């Protein structure tokens, strides 16, 4: 997963991009980059690491100009990381172009193969470069038609920001898989994956970039932007997992507040999967907290913060040879004995992917004296990999793709295990936002053809 | 504030010390160090930074031996940090000695002055070096009498670990200001500032080191340790602020679980300072969470996690010139509009020291639409500086030392402000642990003479 | 300027490339890189800095395989250095290709413009990428015809090494501007810019790669390489400045030992520009030493090492505000008073480009007591910029392009100034090697059309 | 070996100290430090590494004040390097004191033992700390009598700079083993181990600090310094090895120019140990160059720079497994085949300590085609370790302590081997400077009692 941020026509554009990425880094902590433009020239700085470590005052001085786009990247296996950091800045007959992208193309493999046959050279393994190659090969010499040409050839999920010396363009695929919002900061248009970036810099939220929309900002007159819709309308397929897990609770995503949706999921979960006789509701921090509060409210069972999450997980990891049982989980999550001892506890988490962490955590709770451990998940079983930008395991690694809930319950060692139903999830998510959702990870219903990429 | 950890006669002693310090680093994140011994020689590594960054596998290889002591240090203003990191390892006629210390001596200035007059040279500005100089000048040539000689000349708060090639000694001042606990890991004695360090490495808690106790472990026969009480008994003065703020919620400190005490303080606060018509109870994360849960339970007002705390505060800090209002707080704490909009909210925090953060936070809540903001503090007003090891501001910087509660309320802009009473705090803290507390920061009643140090 | 090195079919190919680059780094100290191949995959590591700092044992472990090419790069102004480091490794329909290049194309601008019009995207500003794009667009799908196709479209100076998973190719432009030699290390073919790289690793010198030659090594059978000459013969235009300044004295370049040529230039200089009454011959170290020895031998004036050159010029450079006169030169070159005091001295240098250093040095000699300072240059006046790979100033910055020798003498403050004649230079350089030289920097006679690039 | 530098009452004192250390770093490249004072407070920065890397502009900003002392340290085996860097800055009843020291005490072991018995604590293993402890224990509370008291208790070699908030003192032991000179920079007194530091910053040389002298500068009135001679006169024992090898050629040491002395040693060597039929004289660079020039002049055999010395020896050192013969020497020194092929060569070096490098170099010369290799050393055989500050091997590692010259010749593989005689060395060294020399490393005649330290 990734986040993108853009701003046009503002003093200290790079600093604002830095702050926007800071607010968005829950979407990607492997590396980040910012590209700016001044006097028709591009400037870019990208590095691996956390946003706060990458952008020093020295780096900021080397990112002049009044318009900027930025990107923060999630850790994915393999690949030359440094080359895959974004924004990509490349020079072609269109001049230089900087691109930042969140999403995943389902036909990237075919397109790359075709372009290489025609003499193209690829530097990275990112989809982002695919957009740039397609633009460079467009018969057009202006950014808007070249981008339209490029987008007409790709399928899948993309929320894009494109910057050159004259324009900043925000684009979102016709199904609208990934979020992208438009704001205003004292007359400058601002773009971000989530609204929490606007809150930090004091920008005002205007609206979502619509699925299928291309919003074009002229850098010489940023207050007058133009909205284009070059492609036919498509049913919306917004990623429901953004609400379940990915987005930050204080963001509004697809029109709803994430924290509010999660609490509502917890309430629904309490109705669908009650725990009679439960004595305390304990969230798996941090992402399970809102659903646990909702569950506690609906069920009347008291809420308690019965696990401490350590925020000091360092990069070097040293484990004794005489291995400490469940060491990794223990370093991060510490149950509080006084909260659980002798009790029938309800543990609430937002999702259960592989199940290994849950298994260890349940063991910890029992070691700390819990009498019964009932696990409740505020989402349906994860049965299918995502091809639209979320790094899920393959189907073979997803226990729910092949095992029954009872088998999983036995594996993780819970006294009971309850998931939210798919219909429950969709009803809650749809309550405040009219449009459709992609729930392929829970249902296997992919809204596009998917390759074996 | 600082934390200490020690272990005697264990495989991979340095790794266990590393893990113990990892669990304890909420008590000090400026730097850390570990000293070990093998074949009568000392090994030490200290550096500024977080525990997880300091101790790489390479560093571990350079810390051989079966006994270790470690220290993690809180950031304090001024002074040459690198020189002040602990454990201090120094060579004298006693051979080498390694010392790690948590606390603060109230007569250090006088002792240093006297020793310098006699020709002593001080390298650091830590009290720790005072212990070593006094030991080096003792007429005795054995560690136990030399340490007894040294301790007889100092006053104030200390929880100490002393290592040489033959013994590991744990000592605690007669009033018992700072915590220090004894555990057992498969036959090896373990020492730590808090029990959470034992939980991480799987050690069994045995008991507190008693105020005034010196517990001596012979490194050749670690299972048979000796308890000495070289000094007259004194009334206990355990630091109540450990329960209010400092210790980790999953630790047991002075015989009580910290999380449980904090929830009880929240309940008592709800009785003493109710908020009629309050619609939601919101904690200031992370330390205000347990008290807020207690307050919600007692008052019946729903609890919600209405502030998101960012865990990505980087080291470089870049703020735009066109200053963003209350920027620092905003980067760290983000109110969730949907939780507070239109509501009469009760915000619960564990303490109010300078008040500047509270003031900004209340402003944020109002910007996010809160109708009324009622601040409740689960401790009494902080009126007096600490001379026993906690880095509090001077009296002049503590608003509660000179202003009324109403004046503070106006300054921070709350609709109402309520503190827990001192008697309430003492009653709750004493409920589960019989012994006496130091509450000088709230009452100004210092249990020792204090210099102007 | 740059250096290249390659080896095929050897154990520890990357280590040998590292050593080769170590010997060649007088040709470029800004950064370096090595690419290797194993199991048909490419591996590459490039970084700014000195060769000895870049390649740690860890880096070496990440460069597996039995064939390698390497590059070390000279500092040039502007441009994103990191992107311009070589070898470039790019993926296209030909598969991946790694290229390392020494030289400069005179028609690169036109070619880049044409390729961009056709949709190509350029990542760097190096000529090296031009070769790769041309190969990727070749109608051929094999490396040799694709490279031939590419080389047929470029003009200028190139000594190239190209590696893919099956072949290593060495190529030199038909005029042979830059050196490139072939050696043998226990059956493995080795390539280097200069023979000094062979001496370090114990390889045997075989012969120069001929101007216009493409030498193709099959990685599966390295001992049987094939020599191709795809282009028509051309008069040779070997860079005479390699002998004057650039190459290492212990190298054989274009068939002659560099140290020997430089001593011969010094002898010729003594005949053409004698200094009657000269009392001591002092070289400007290190590059002026051989010519000074030759001058002293021919003239009978004693040689002395009257300047100490410091080898500790650090990267940070701190100068006091109350500026020390001629500080930069002073930090590097220190005259020895006892060698020059009261004497008529002859200072010998290999070239005089801008003249600023000479001016300062002459001032130092006078401060140290020299009675007369006679400067002798073992090359003709530098009048014209190089377009074939040497970083010379523009014509406007070259005093000899517009000023008389007498004007330059007055500017630098010498008692006399004498240059070697162009015919003298050519005669000496040609004495041991039959082929023709490029001397455009001294004569302005460019052997190719030159753009204003 | 080490170097020291000091300056009192100058603008940008730390920058001038930095430059002085830069000029002196041939005497020590392991680490360096600078201490300054402003408003009665001390400032210090020390680190491992080269001078040019340690002192950044940021570091300079943290070294305010108008007086500074600096130190650069040679690599010595063992010990905690970071702790042993100088200047040492310590606080005692005298206030803070900063000390930088070049030399070695022969009774340090006894003094340390005595002080520890009295309760002293040592942090480092340097002699420098001995001075500070002795001062701290002096009955006096002023710097001059305290330092006199300290110096009266030590024996051996020391050139010292001592700084506190009011004075800068330069002191040299009564025998004058190590050099120390006084200069003037626009009214500010300057101190340095060698005059080359004065040349770089433009200071005027005044005179040597005399053996046994204490020169006291009052920081409030730097132009009026006082010279004290608290100790009885002693015969001078200046280190002759400074002239043979250690000092920089452009320095004047003990009243003579080092380059001039070395050339004279070469001339004397040519008389004592001629090489009939020698065809070329080749120095081992850089330190053998002046003696080789002298040898060539005296003998009439032509001088040539037949070895290239690489200046790019990086810190990481990667050698192939299939070991390259004599790899280390080869990386650093490259014979030029054209200079030696077929010739009877005379190789001149300044000293032969262990002989391993000479052996490898002679092998290289033979591989490069030399017909005969005659090695001439411009000093006597090194038979005895130094106890006065030069890091020589132990007696057992010095071949000349137990083997005949013929045995050494056979070991290194030279056709002949000739050393300068001890009387020749002393006569040349004494020619221009009247005072006596220590030549214990060549003669075994130690001017003090020496312990087995």
Interface test with chain C among D3, D15, D52, by most C beta carbons within 10 Å:
D52
CB contact under 8 A, B201 and A25: no
Alpha helices in C25-80 (DSSP H): 51-54, 57-61
Question: In chain D, whose CA is at the least distance from the CA of C293?
Answer: D304
CB contact under 8 A, C123 and A93: no
Dump the DSSP string for C127-158.
HHHHHHHHHHTSS--SHHHHHHHHHTT--EEE
CB contact under 8 A, B312 and A29: yes
Rg (CA), chain B: 23
Interface test with chain D among B42, B82, B119, by most D beta carbons within 10 Å:
B119
Residues A414-449 pLDDT 10s: 999 999 999 999 999 998 665 699 999 999 999 998
Please, which residues bridge with residue B44 across strands?
A: B35
Omega prior to C286 cis, within 30 of 0: yes
CB contact under 8 A, B136 and D123: no
CB contact under 8 A, A117 and C93: yes
**Mean pLDDT, rounded, for B211-216:** 97
d(CA D382, CA A194): 76
CB contact under 8 A, D120 and B121: yes
Reply yes or no on whether the pLDDT at D316 is more than 60.
no
Residues of chain C with Cβ-Cβ distance to D304 below 8 Å are 263, 293
The distance of B144 to chain D (nearest Cα, Å) reads: 16
Cβ contacts below 8 Å, chain C against chain D, sum to 165
- Tell me the catalytic residues of C: 2
Q: B395-399, C333-337, D186-190: which has the minimum mean pLDDT? A: B395-399
Residues of chain A with Cβ-Cβ distance to B338 below 8 Å are 257, 259-260
Residue C198 confidence (pLDDT):
96
d(CA A233, CA A303): 45
Asked whether D428 and D268 are in contact (CB, 8 A), the reply is: yes
Residue with the larger pLDDT of the pair B56 and A24:
A24
Residues 304-343 of C with CB under 8 A from D: 304-305, 308, 310-322, 324-325, 330-331, 334-339
Residue C12 touches partner D, C-beta closer than 8 Å: yes
| SS3 (DSSP) at C191 | strand
Residue A53 confidence (pLDDT):
82
pLDDT band at A224 (very low <50, low <70, confident <90, very high): confident
Residue of B11, B56, B250 with shortest CB distance to A308: B250
Residue C331 confidence (pLDDT):
78
Reply yes or no on whether the pLDDT at B389 is more than 70.
yes
The distance of C125 to chain D (nearest Cα, Å) reads: 28
CB contact under 8 A, D120 and B136: yes
Residue C52 confidence (pLDDT):
82
Question: In chain B, whose CA is at the least distance from the CA of D129?
Answer: B121
Residues of chain A with Cβ-Cβ distance to B53 below 8 Å are 314-316
Residue B117 touches partner D, C-beta closer than 8 Å: yes
Q: B79-88, C165-174, D49-58: which has the minimum mean pLDDT? A: B79-88
Residue B316 confidence (pLDDT):
43
Residue B27 touches partner A, C-beta closer than 8 Å: no
| CA-to-CA separations, C299 to C281, C293, D303, in angstroms, rounded | 9, 10, 14
Query: Which of A62-76, B386-400, D401-415 tops mean pLDDT?
Result: D401-415
Q: Verify D-A touch: 3 or more CB pairs within 8 A.
A: no
pLDDT band at B124 (very low <50, low <70, confident <90, very high): confident
Q: Which of A292, A266, A263 is nearest to A280 (CA)?
A: A292
Interface test with chain C among A85, A121, A125, A131, by most C beta carbons within 10 Å:
A121
Q: Three-state secondary structure along chain B?
A: CEEEEEECCCCCHHHHHHHHHHHHHHHCCCEEEEEEEECCEEEEEEEECCHHHHCCHHHHHCCCCCEEEEEEECCCCCCCHHHHCCCEEEEECCEEEEEEEEEEECCHHHHHHHHHHCCCCECCCCHHHHHHHHHHCCCCCCHHHHHHHHHCCCCEEEEEEEECCCEEEEEECCCCCCCCEEEEECCEEEEECCCHHHHHHCCEEEEECCCCCEEEEECCCCCCCEEECCCCCCCCCEEHHHHHHHCCCCCEECCEEHHHHHHHHHHHHHHHCCCCCCCEEEECCCCCHHHHHHHHHHHCCCECCCEEECCCCCCCCCCCCCCCCCHHHHHHEEECHHHHCCCEEEEEECCCCCCHHHHHHHHHHHHCCCCEEEEEECCCCCCCCCCCCCCCCCHHHCHHHCCCHHHHHHHHCCCEEEECCHHHHHHHHHHCCCCCEECHHHHCCCCCCCCCC
Residues C160-176 pLDDT 10s: 999 999 999 999 999 99
Q: Name all domains of chain D by residue range, CATH numbers in brackets.
A: 2-234 (3.60.20.10), 257-311+321-443 (3.40.50.2020)
| Interface ipTM above 0.85 | yes
Residues of chain A with Cβ-Cβ distance to C93 below 8 Å are 116-120
Residue A221 CB neighbours (<10 A): 10
d(CA C378, CA C428): 11
Residues B134-155 pLDDT 10s: 999 999 989 999 999 999 999 9
Residue A312 confidence (pLDDT):
66
Interface partners of chain D (CB pairs < 8 Å, 3 or more) are B, C
Residue B193 confidence (pLDDT):
98
Residue C46 touches partner A, C-beta closer than 8 Å: no
Residue A451 confidence (pLDDT):
65
Residues of chain C with Cβ-Cβ distance to A137 below 8 Å are 119
Residues B236-294 pLDDT 10s: 999 999 999 999 999 999 999 999 999 999 999 999 999 999 999 999 998 899 999 99
Residues of chain B with Cβ-Cβ distance to D123 below 8 Å are 90, 123
Mean pLDDT for back-to-back runs of 10 residues, chain C (453 residues): 95 95 90 95 89 84 95 64 82 92 93 92 86 93 95 96 97 97 97 96 95 97 93 94 94 94 97 97 94 97 93 58 67 90 97 89 94 98 92 84 94 97 94 81 92 51
Interface test with chain C among D307, D322, D361, by most C beta carbons within 10 Å:
D322
Residue C316 confidence (pLDDT):
43
Residues of chain B with Cβ-Cβ distance to A335 below 8 Å are 250
Reply yes or no on whether the pLDDT at D80 is more than 70.
no
Interface test with chain B among D118, D121, D164, by most B beta carbons within 10 Å:
D121
The distance of A226 to chain B (nearest Cα, Å) reads: 28
Residues of chain A with Cβ-Cβ distance to C119 below 8 Å are 92-93, 118, 120, 133, 136-138
d(CA B317, CA B334): 17
Residue A432 touches partner B, C-beta closer than 8 Å: no
**Mean pLDDT, rounded, for D124-140:** 90
Residues of chain D with Cβ-Cβ distance to B97 below 8 Å are none
pLDDT band at D443 (very low <50, low <70, confident <90, very high): very high
d(CA A376, CA A417): 6
pLDDT band at B319 (very low <50, low <70, confident <90, very high): low
Q: Three-state secondary structure along B146-206?
A: HHHHHHCCCCEEEEEEEECCCEEEEEECCCCCCCCEEEEECCEEEEECCCHHHHHHCCEEE
Question: In chain C, whose CA is at the least distance from the CA of A42?
Answer: C80
Residue C302 touches partner D, C-beta closer than 8 Å: yes
DSSP state of D286: T
Q: Which of D2, D239, D339, D441 is catalytic?
A: D2
Residue C394 touches partner A, C-beta closer than 8 Å: no
Residue B329 confidence (pLDDT):
75
Residue of D18, D293, D317 with shortest CB distance to C305: D293
Task: Name the region of D12 (left: φ>0; alpha: ψ -120 to 50; beta: rest).
Answer: left
CB contact under 8 A, D90 and B133: no
Q: A297-306, C16-25, D74-83: which has the minimum mean pLDDT? A: D74-83
Residues B161-173 pLDDT 10s: 999 999 999 999 9
Segment holding C100, helix H or strand E: strand C95-105
């Amino acid at each position: 997963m990734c986040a993108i941020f853009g701003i046009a026509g503002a003093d200290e554009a790079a600093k604002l991009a830095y702050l926007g990425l800071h607010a968005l880094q829950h979407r990607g902590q492997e590396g980040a980059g910012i590209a700016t433009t001044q006097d028709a020239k591009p400037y870019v700085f990208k590095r691996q690491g956390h946003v706060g470590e990458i952008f020093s005052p020295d780096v900021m001085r080397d990112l002049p100009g009044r318009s900027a786009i930025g990107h923060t990247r999630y850790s994915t296996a393999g690949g030359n990381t440094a080359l895959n950091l974004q924004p990509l800045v490349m020079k072609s007959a269109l001049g230089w172009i900087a691109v930042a992208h969140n999403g995943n193309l389902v036909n990237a493999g075919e397109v790359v193969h075709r372009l290489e046959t025609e003499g193209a050279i690829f530097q990275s393994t990112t989809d982002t470069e695919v957009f740039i190659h397609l633009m460079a090969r467009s018969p057009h010499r202006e950014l808007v038609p070249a981008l339209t040409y490029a987008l007409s050839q790709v399928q899948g999920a993309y929320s894009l920001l494109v910057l050159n010396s004259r324009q900043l363009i925000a684009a979102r695929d016709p199904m609208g898989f990934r979020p992208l919002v438009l704001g205003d900061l004292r007359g400058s248009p601002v773009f971000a994956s989530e609204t929490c970036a606007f809150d930090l810099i004091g920008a005002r939220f205007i609206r979502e970039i619509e699925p299928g929309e291309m919003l074009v900002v002229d850098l010489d007159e940023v207050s007058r932007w133009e909205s284009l819709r070059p492609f036919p309308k498509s049913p919306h397929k917004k990623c429901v997992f953004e609400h379940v897990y990915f987005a930050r609770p204080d963001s509004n995503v697809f029109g709803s507040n994430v924290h509010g949706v999660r609490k509502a999921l917890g309430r629904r979960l309490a109705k669908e999967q009650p725990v009679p006789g439960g004595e305390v509701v304990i969230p798996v921090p941090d992402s399970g907290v809102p659903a646990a509060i909702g569950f506690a409210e609906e069920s009347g069972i008291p809420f308690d913060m019965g696990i401490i999450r350590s925020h000091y997980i360092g990069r070097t990891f040293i484990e004794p040879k005489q291995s400490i049982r469940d060491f990794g989980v223990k370093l991060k999550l510490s149950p509080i004995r006084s909260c659980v001892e002798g009790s029938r506890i309800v543990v609430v988490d937002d999702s259960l992917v592989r199940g290994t962490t849950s298994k260890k955590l349940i063991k910890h709770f029992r070691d700390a004296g819990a009498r019964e451990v009932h696990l409740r998940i505020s989402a349906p079983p994860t049965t299918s990999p995502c091809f639209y930008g979320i790094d899920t395991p393959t189907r073979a690694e997803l226990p729910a793709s092949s095992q029954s809930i009872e088998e999983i319950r036995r594996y993780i060692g819970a006294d009971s295990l309850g998931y939210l139903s798919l219909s429950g999830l969709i009803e809650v998510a749809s309550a405040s936002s009219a449009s459709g959702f992609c729930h392929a990870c829970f249902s296997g219903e992919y809204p596009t053809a998917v390759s074996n990429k």
